[in-house]
Amino acid sequence: MNPAFGKCYLVGAGPGDLGLVTLRAKECLEKADVIVYDYLSNPQMLRWARPEVEAIYAGKKAKDHSIPQGGINQLLIEKAKQGKEVVRLKGGDPFVFGRGGEEAQELREAGIEFEIVPGITSVLAGPAYAGIPVTHRDHNAEFTIFTGHEDPTKGETSIDWKSMAQRPGTKVFLMGVERIGAIADALMEQGADRETPVAMIRWATTARQQTLLGTLGDIAKKVKAAHFQAPAITVVGPVAQLREQLQWFETRPLFGKRIVVTRTRKQAGELSRQLEELGADAYELPTIRIEDPLQMEDFGYLVKDTHTYDWLIFTSPNGVDRFFDLFFKIYHDARSLGGVRIAAMGPGTANAIRKYRFAVDLLPVEYVAEGLLEAFKNEGVENLKMLWVKAEETREVLFEGLSEQGAIIDRAIAYRTVPETQDVSGGMARFREEGADLITFTSSSTVEAFLALKLPLPESLQIASIGPITSKTLRQNGLYVDIEAREHTMPGLVRAIREHYQPEVEEA
């Protein structure tokens, strides 16, 4: 093999759920120079790639081949010959009806080194996510996988339908949604029972998963009635029925709900993950981003003098991070903070403080400025020196209230929130194209920045707000509030959304 050539990795992308990608696949994506991916591999995986990667879509919805197969092989060979590390990303497992075998043969012929990274095939993952065990001791001791690509009514078929129909056990086939009638007929003609349960699972393991349950006798009619379309896996056999007892994926509380997260790119992940855990199809549309304050120098002086204050007040996790980033640039010893006591406006902020191994001395009962004022009133702050670490554009309630209580308060402006105008996550384009079921706002600034983007609002879009201040901003801007969190935290917001969609759920 020519040492100047790069290597080609034929990588299984799994069935769609990002959590079902192997560690090896992720490693390959992280170092690739070129990634050639197809229609069944989740494009979100490209996030793991280096920013300068060359990502090439090789399409392939039946009939509409973006690049013909021969072209794909040529492309892989050409890029590898240029010394590049090439990843050929294929849905499911590369060797299960994915032409991975043919690609490997051509690579070998061209003298290109390759590696095969198996993936979780849709053959197994689809039934599992539909609540169907492909084997079960009460029902079968074998299962057969075949392609539904060939039309049994045309002479060309290479499948022996007679032995297929008479085979015991579960049968799973890929492709062929539009031939389901012909395939079911072929099996029944050769003696399969028309009452045999059949399940079809489309876009398995993704937020778009849909499952259709029927029998060999009626599945074709059901497919038509439901306008059920490819891509789908079909399971034939008594185990398909077990879904009625074992389904779990489609019954999660937020399953299939498209929920937009508008926080900064850095912070969005936390909320999206919590929503995804409940089955939501969460996508990020960052509307704001954090920048240095205009008077960065002033911030520096105040951070440096923190030890001269009695109280240090944080009202956002961003403020906490900005403060400690700078603090530890100035000082190399945590004790330089002195004896200052630390207050946080809410649990998110408090957690951010604890990450730096500082304890929180004061946390209000109500997580808003008014709540914090109340808490300080009980403490007594007369003549005490306070440093409030804040965003440039916050309300003045806290400053005025504490001044009234007799405190001497300085404002350390740690950051500015500016509108995010670039579509960093692709979320803006997605929102424009297909809208969403719900949009979440976690601060007034996200509301204002979102409105400034002037995106069209889908008619049935619902709106969730983290609390009364954000809700007020929404209403002032002519919007409505469908959901408002009772506890003004990310988990509180997630709970409110869950209760909205599943009102019968009683929280302990």
Q: Catalog residues that contact ligand SAH under the rule CB under 6 A.
A: 15-16, 40, 90-93, 96-98, 121-123, 126, 174-175, 201-205, 230-233
**Sheet strand arrangement including 86-90:** 54-57, 34-37, 86-90, 8-12, 114-117
Nearer to ligand SAH, 119 or 364 (CB): 119
Nearer to ligand SAH, 161 or 203 (CB): 203
Nearer to ligand SAH, 40 or 363 (CB): 40
Task: Write out the H or E segment, with its range, that includes residue 298.
Answer: helix 296-304
| Least distance between ligand SAH and beta carbon 27 (Å) | 20
Nearer to ligand SAH, 176 or 346 (CB): 176
| Least distance between ligand SAH and beta carbon 248 (Å) | 17
For the question of residue 38 being annotated catalytic, the response is yes
**Sheet strand arrangement including 258-261:** 281-284, 258-261, 438-441, 462-465, 483-484
For the question of residue 60 being annotated catalytic, the response is yes
Q: Could you give the CA distance from residue 336 to residue 283 in angstroms, rounded to a whole number?
A: 41
Q: Which of 17, 38, 93, 185 is catalytic?
A: 38
Closest residue (Cβ) to ligand SAH? Answer: 92
| Least distance between ligand SAH and beta carbon 220 (Å) | 16
Q: Which of 45, 60, 84, 90 is catalytic?
A: 60
Q: Which of 17, 45, 164, 175 is catalytic?
A: 175
Structure tokens at 159: 């499948």
| Least distance between ligand SAH and beta carbon 68 (Å) | 17
Quick check: 323 and 309 in contact, CB under 8 A? Answer: no
Nearer to ligand SAH, 233 or 278 (CB): 233
| Least distance between ligand SAH and beta carbon 15 (Å) | 4
For the question of residue 390 being annotated catalytic, the response is no
Closest Cα partner for 310 from 349, 337, 279, 277? Answer: 337
SS3 content of the chain, % helix, strand, coil (to 5): 40, 20, 40
Q: Could you give the CA distance from residue 92 to residue 117 in angstroms, rounded to a whole number?
A: 11
- Quote the Cα angle for 424-429-433, to 5°: 165
| Least distance between ligand SAH and beta carbon 228 (Å) | 11
For the chain, first and last CA: distance in Å?
A: 64
Q: Could you give the CA distance from residue 168 to residue 171 in angstroms, rounded to a whole number?
A: 9
Nearer to ligand SAH, 49 or 204 (CB): 204
- Which of the residues are catalytic? 38, 60, 175
